[in-house]
Chain A
Amino acid sequence: MSTYAVEGEVEGAPSTPEEMEAFMEPVAALEDEMEASGTFVFGGALHGPDAATVLRVSDGDPVMTDGPFVEAKEHIAGFYIINADDLDAALAWGRKVVEAIDHPIEVRPFRATGRVQA
């Protein structure tokens, strides 16, 4: 069993509470499906890139600048860490994510390090 990160790249996120509710309905249903099948490991949404801070250490001192790293039209708006047997299985879940959020996603293998157990 491998772990994959399924990242959504969302542009023009829902702005009103009604839009948000309509957006979240299929997403919540999909997360329930992932949970029930033992696929879901962790996941969630990121706040917008305007909320990001880039942090570096320069000569031993922390240096902060307003984020994000790269100004781009598309940005990572959220991610899921899922269990899947192989890339095809991960892509099958990825397809469901695309249908639920109506945006393209990137599927990438996740490698557990340190305390996180894959």
Chain B
Amino acid sequence: MTPTVAAGAEATAVERVFREAYGPAVATLIRIFGDITLAEDAVQEAFVVASDRWRRDGIPPNPAGWIVTSARNRAIDDLRRSARGRELHEQLGAVATASHGPGADEWGEDAPVKDDRLRLIFTCCHPSLRPEHRVALTLRLLGGLSVDEVARSFLVSEPAMAKRLVRAKYKIKAAKIPYRVPDEADLPSRLGSVLSVLYLIYNTGLDAPERASLRSEAVRLARALVELMPDEPEAAGLLALMLLSESRVPARSAEGALVLLRDQDRTTWDRSMIEEGQAIVRACIRRGQPGPYQLQAAIQAVHCDADSFEATDWAQIVELYDQLLSVMPTPVVALNRAIAIAEVEGPRAALTTLDEIASDLDSYHLLHAARGTMLRRLGQRNAAREAFERAAHLAATETDRRFLAQQIEELAEDGALMEHRPGRSTGSSNEASAR
């Protein structure tokens, strides 16, 4: 290994440590100082110092603790220097010294407190904040992404994202959004907001290959949440759902085009993720407190169990969708259930179910894609073409549009084949539940 490569590897290691340490360190500093911006600035400054030192002396055994101690000392120095700060410092002095005694040396006995991260998740995902602000705050403060990285993930400019973060932080401060885990009574709905933010981050990463890092970030945050709240089965359910979805990512696309579940090369699915996800699902079932994320994970677990599309236990999948629909009666769940019905009762039954929800989902491309698939299987090529064209018109991503164009092309091929082999049934799209 040449020295240049060694230095490069060391730099990457330092960057990875920074990203891992950012959320825990900021969370602990917010508890100590009660101010998000101050905490962020202090951690940033500590990173600058660490960056030089660690490259020279190596990464300390407890990097997050080192960052917390160094950032805390810096923040206190900064506060002492400003007049406003002196006042604040006097108020805080008691707290800071009480929780960080003189024994804390530079190599860090100030380990970040786990609960601080949990408090911060609930602050970032407070329902009084706009959903897009919740996502941005979570990625910036807990995920440790730079403002520019968050901006790129959501296809907005860096100044626009910076403004969004400033507004959100202003509201937290002005409205005194609390920095604590909510009471038992508020917990279910507040946890729901946290889970949906994490799932949104994951799905944003799934929509476009250039945003793939959001998926690993979402998995990392979900894992942290499960570790922090081991008694919440829905948090575990969300982690399992992400892992099982993630396991199939290698098979989901080929040359930039979407590959349906039916056609995926199952040997490329990530077995270790499947095993972990399925183990979580089994633990959830033993707990017997089903919820939307656990049921969605259970459905994915059944898919991951099958050696082929045909060998899938579709009856069990329909049963799980029935349960899911009873706790989460949304048209999108009904759509996925209809697609599963096609594999048990056939395309006509699925089409009937789809037509029942068509008015609710008229502007959703996957409804029309599913209708197109069922119509194609029933040999109604003209109606199928119309449905696919409508779906293509509504689709938001290039990948989806390309996939739908391919379906329309295949319809034409069906036509050519049908002259020789009338009544041939063609492949089904399990698009929505295949994602």
Contact = CB atoms under 8 A, between A and B. Distances in A.
Q: Are A and B part of the same complex?
A: yes
Interface of A: 2, 85-88, 91, 108-109
Interface in B343-379: none
Given A87-B126, A87-B128, A91-B128, A109 B174 contact: yes
A87 B173 CA distance: 10
Interface string B183-201: 0001000000000000000
A109 B128 CA distance: 13
Residue of A85, A86, A88, A108 most packed against chain B (CB within 10 A): A88
A86 B178 contact: yes
B175 A88 contact: no
A2 B176 CA distance: 8
Interface in B363-404: none
Contacts, number: 21
A91 B126 CA distance: 12
A2 B186 CA distance: 21
Interface string B271-312: 000000000000000000000000000000000000000000
21 contacts: A2-B176, A85-B176, A85-B178, A86-B176, A86-B177, A86-B178, A87-B126, A87-B128, A87-B175, A87-B176, A87-B177, A87-B178, A88-B177, A88-B178, A88-B182, A88-B186, A91-B128, A108-B175, A109-B174, A109-B175, A109-B176
Contacts of A109: 174-176
Contacts of B186: 88
Nearest to B176: A86
Nearest to A4: B175
Contacts of A85: 176, 178
Interface in B159-189: 174-178, 182, 186
A108 B128 CA distance: 11
A65 B141 CA distance: 48
A14 to B, nearest CB: 30
Contacts of A108: 175
A84 B250 CA distance: 51
Contacts of B175: 87, 108-109
A104 B174 CA distance: 22
Nearest to B127: A91
A2 B177 CA distance: 11
Contacts of B174: 109
Residue of B126, B128, B175 most packed against chain A (CB within 10 A): B175
B340 to A, nearest CB: 39
Closest 9 CB pairs of A and B: A86-B178, A86-B176, A87-B175, A87-B177, A109-B175, A2-B176, A88-B178, A109-B174, A87-B176
A109 B177 CA distance: 10
Contacts of A86: 176-178
A108 B176 CA distance: 10
Contacts of B182: 88
